[in-house]
A = this chain, B = another copy of it.
Amino acid sequence: MRTNRTTYAVLGFLSWGPMSGYDIKKIVERSTANFWTESYGQIYPILRNFTERGLAVRVSGGTKAASGRERQAYQITERGRAELDRWLREATDPPTVRNELLLKLFFSRNVEPGVARSQVEEFRRQVTELARQGEETRSRLESNRQGSPDLPYWLLTLRFGEIQRAAVLTWCEEAVAALDRLATAPPGATKTKGDRAAAGKRRASKRKDGAKT
């Protein structure tokens, strides 16, 4: 029975030093956003939970900086570190993916190929934007994190994103080309089994396809 993954994300950040829930949220947005997110609704309760389980202690005050309320920082304990260590060594389940774009594509014969095409194009724009952000992150890391013992690991996660995004962009182009071919060539002409024509025409009108309502 796998326990809450948020636990470990938060423990991981606390391993860098004492910080508050607010800090964690901000850092998550800047550092792991591409493969991990957390919301306040997760973070604050888990921090309280840590103090109950002895994985962290609350150190009020702290840096203080420029804040309205008093800063509630949390410091990881030995037990907290042990728990983090355990998780880092433990087997990792493959991620459960849910990709809505692919789901739409999967059912896209219900619409004209142009619709699927626009979806892919929009997806490509999104990925391109992520790639741009990735480049920024890389130069930021390389210019002011030199020598950090964390850096090699951070670069590994960054590289994952880079390689994956490049692949996805390749696919986008391939997919757009395939959909263009579908849009022009295919209505009923090609394949076997005579009944294909309908798919291309589908949008034209509502006729009965043997299904009543």
Contacts and interface: CB of A to CB of B under 8 A. Distances in A.
A15 interface: yes
A1 interface: no
Contacts of A163: 167-168, 170-171, 174
B190 A103 contact: no
Contact of A213 (B78, B106, B123, B178): B78
Contacts of A76: 211
A160 interface: yes
A139 to B, nearest CB: 14
Interface residues of A, number: 92
A137 interface: no
A12 B103 contact: yes
Interface in A183-205: 186, 190-193, 195-196, 198-200, 202
B85 A111 contact: yes
Interface in A63-92: 75-79, 81, 84-85, 87-89, 91-92
A46 interface: no
Nearest to A106: B157
Quickly give the copy total for this chain. Answer: 2
A173 to B, nearest CB: 11
Interface of A: 5, 8-9, 12, 15, 31-32, 34-37, 57, 75-79, 81, 84-85, 87-89, 91-111, 115-116, 119, 122-123, 126-127, 130, 146-157, 159-160, 163-164, 166-168, 170-171, 174-175, 178-179, 182, 186, 190-193, 195-196, 198-200, 202, 206, 211, 213
20 contacts: A15-B110, A32-B106, A36-B106, A37-B98, A78-B206, A78-B213, A85-B111, A91-B122, A92-B122, A92-B123, A94-B127, A102-B157, A146-B199, A147-B195, A148-B199, A149-B196, A160-B175, A163-B174, A164-B168, A167-B167
